[in-house]
């Protein structure tokens, strides 16, 4: 797999994922487990932040409850993406910052969590701008505090591995990591575009925000926005200023990176806090009808729970990726590859060899997975790259498969069983990338030999998303 491109994963996410995989195996459930646990932590942190700022336990509890059932918070915790960890870390860092404002002895927690946050994803630097602006408005004296600079120093120390990595990458490859290369306008052939920017520019935010948040929640958040605006006109409130600075600086970030679903998940905590405001007003109403108002609040929470359950579980898009994964898991049950694949990257080869030594299957056979390279990168990472690295399964693009044969002769794969994964019109493919002529030719050759798909993977609507052809190399 010489052409496999791997950008730097988040250092913290990489550690968490590797730890869970080593402990529990590399299943889809395990891949999602860190995000699910972090999502639970996010709800606790929502409670802690609101309670710290407002000193109202009821409002904090109501905010946390809404966060626990809201679609945007549940969605990001269910998918195995960086933002599943990033959102809770943002909340943790904000909590530490607010504690630092109260007590400067929290400087090390503030600086430490900020460092971990930036190790997770560079885009979280918007919080630094938020903190600087907020301190300039509310706590100018902190700019004279050694503990503030101590916190920033600790942050930089934690970032040394990333700094060293980018320096080494620039020396060896002539460019920085994917995010920094994009910001600095470096042209890198492996990363010609950022998918989030192409698929969902900021102008599409009105559509994409409804992909992760229910209209019901957005209406509540809109009411909360109007209420906070009214409060601000009556009396200046610094906590409202902080909330709006958070929204403003993240919106500025979206101008550069786009408004893909995962990026909009960063709005999640702010949406929940705003949406909880009108609910809290209803809950705190006194008089004979107070139980009626509280019943309405409970009903609203239940409605949001039903919407979340429907959209994130019952009718959530199913692209066939999990089914394809299950197919290969069953196909290779009790079987290991008889050869150990190699990459042109010596570090990856060490990973492959380490996991290869753990093989315990009773049977070893010659097989290889060949796939259409236009398939979307996340699918390739989970289905093909993961098996290549952790299961020592030979996986090649059609182009690589042909190149090996041209170099070593057409008989090179003579005794191999070939699994050819081809896409369809319903397959999610990479932006600006269509099937190559070589992939089309292989498909035609297979069909001309009257080789039927060993399995056809479908989505929830029953449309074909993948076709897997199984044949002996000598047949084609």
Residue 300 pLDDT greater than 50, yes or no: yes
Considering Cα of 145, then 151, then 154, then 155, what sign does the dihedral take? negative
Confidence of residue 197 (pLDDT cuts 50, 70, 90): low
Crossing angle of helices 28-54 and 11-24, rounded to 10°:
130
pLDDT given for residue 6 in this prediction: 44
DSSP string, 138-179: H-GGGGG-HHHHHHHHHHHHHTHHHHHHHHHHHHHHSS--HH
pLDDT, tens only, 161-186: 888 888 888 888 777 877 777 667 77
Residue 3 has pLDDT above 50, yes or no: no
Measured in degrees and rounded to the nearest 5, phi and psi for residue 123 equal -65, -15
Distance CA 396, CA 394 (A): 7
Q: Is the pLDDT of residue 383 over 80?
A: yes
What is the average per-residue pLDDT within 324-337? 91
Kindly report which listed range (237-241, 243-247, 289-293, 329-333) carries the lowest average pLDDT score: 237-241
Band of pLDDT at residue 103, cut at 50, 70 and 90: very high
Residue 36 confidence (pLDDT) above 60: yes
CA contacts within 13 A on the Cβ side of 389: 18
CA dist 99 → 110, 139, 156, 177, 255 (Å): 8, 13, 21, 33, 31
- Structure confidence by residue, pLDDT tens digits, 355-367: 787 777 778 889 9
Write the CA distances from 104 to 10, 55, 348, integer angstroms: 29, 20, 44
Q: Where are the alpha helices (DSSP H) in 235-361?
A: 238-257, 261-264, 268-283, 290-309, 321-331, 346-356
pLDDT tens, position by position, 402-449: 999 988 888 889 889 999 999 998 888 876 677 788 888 999 999 999
Q: Token pair for residue 225? A: 């926005």
**Is residue 272 very low, low, confident or very high in pLDDT (cuts 50, 70, 90)?**
very high
Per-residue confidence (pLDDT) for residue 168, from 0 to 100:
86
Q: How far is CA 469 from the centre of its chain?
A: 31
Q: Average of pLDDT values for 108-131? A: 94
Q: In the predicted model, is pLDDT for residue 309 greater than 70?
A: yes
Asked if the model's pLDDT at residue 116 lies above 70, the reply is yes
* 462: confidence class by pLDDT, cuts 50, 70, 90: confident
Q: What proportion of the chain, given as a percentage, has pLDDT over 70?
A: 93
Domain residue limits, the chain: 11-158+193-314, 321-475
Global pTM value: 0.86
Structure confidence at residue 432 (pLDDT): 64
Predicted local distance difference test score (pLDDT) of residue 9: 55
Report the C-alpha gap between 98 and 104 in whole angstroms. 10
What pLDDT, in 10s, does the model give residues 213-254?
Answer: 999 999 999 999 999 999 888 877 888 999 999 999 999 999
Q: Phi/psi of residue 336, each to 5°?
A: -120, 155
């Amino acid at each position: 797999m010489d052409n496999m491109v791997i950008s730097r994963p988040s250092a913290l996410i990489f550690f968490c994922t590797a730890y869970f995989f080593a402990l529990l195996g590399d299943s889809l459930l395990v891949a999602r487990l860190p995000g699910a646990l972090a999502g639970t932590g996010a709800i606790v942190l929502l409670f802690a932040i609101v309670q710290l700022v407002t000193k109202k336990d009821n409002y904090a509890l109501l905010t946390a409850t809404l966060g626990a059932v809201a679609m945007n918070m549940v969605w990001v915790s269910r998918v195995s993406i960086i933002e599943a960890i990033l959102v809770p870390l943002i909340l943790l860092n904000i909590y530490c910052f607010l504690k630092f404002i109260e007590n400067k002895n929290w400087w090390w927690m503030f600086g430490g969590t900020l460092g971990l946050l930036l190790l997770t994803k560079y885009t979280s630097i918007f919080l630094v701008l938020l903190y600087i602006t907020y301190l300039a408005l509310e706590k100018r004296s902190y700019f004279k505090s050694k503990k503030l600079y101590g916190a920033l120093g600790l942050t930089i120390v934690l970032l040394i591995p990333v700094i060293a990595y980018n320096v080494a990458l620039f020396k060896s490859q002539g460019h920085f990591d994917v995010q920094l290369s994009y910001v600095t306008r470096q042209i890198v052939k492996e990363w010609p575009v950022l998918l989030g920017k192409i698929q969902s520019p900021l102008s599409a935010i009105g559509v994409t925000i409804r992909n992760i948040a229910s209209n019901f929640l957005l209406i509540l958040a809109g009411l909360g926005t109007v209420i906070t605006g009214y409060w601000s006109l009556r009396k200046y409130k610094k906590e409202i200023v902080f909330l709006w600075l958070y929204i403003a600086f993240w919106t500025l970030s979206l101008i550069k990176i786009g408004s893909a679903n995962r990026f909009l998940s960063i709005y999640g905590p702010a949406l929940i806090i705003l949406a909880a405001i009108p609910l809290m007003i209803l809950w705190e109403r006194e008089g004979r009808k107070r139980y009626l108002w509280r019943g309405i609040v409970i009903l609203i929470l239940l409605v949001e729970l039903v919407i979340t359950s429907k959209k994130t579980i019952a009718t959530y898009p199913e692209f066939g990726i999990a089914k394809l994964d299950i197919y290969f898991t069953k196909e290779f049950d009790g079987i290991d590859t008889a050869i150990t694949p190699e990459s042109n990257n010596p570090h990856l080869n060490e990973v492959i060899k380490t996991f290869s030594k753990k093989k315990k299957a009773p049977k070893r056979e010659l097989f290889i997975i060949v796939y259409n390279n236009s398939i979307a990168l996340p699918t390739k990472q989970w289905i093909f790259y993961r098996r290549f690295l952790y299961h020592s399964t030979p996986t090649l693009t059609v182009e690589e498969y042909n190149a090996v044969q041209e170099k070593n002769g057409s008989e090179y794969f003579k005794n191999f069983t070939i699994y050819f994964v081809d896409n369809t019109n319903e397959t999610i493919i990479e932006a600006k990338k269509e099937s190559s002529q070589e992939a089309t030719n292989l498909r035609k050759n297979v069909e001309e030999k009257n080789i039927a798909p060993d399995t056809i993977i479908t989505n929830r609507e029953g449309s074909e998303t993948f076709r897997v052809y199984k044949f002996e190399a000598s047949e084609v």
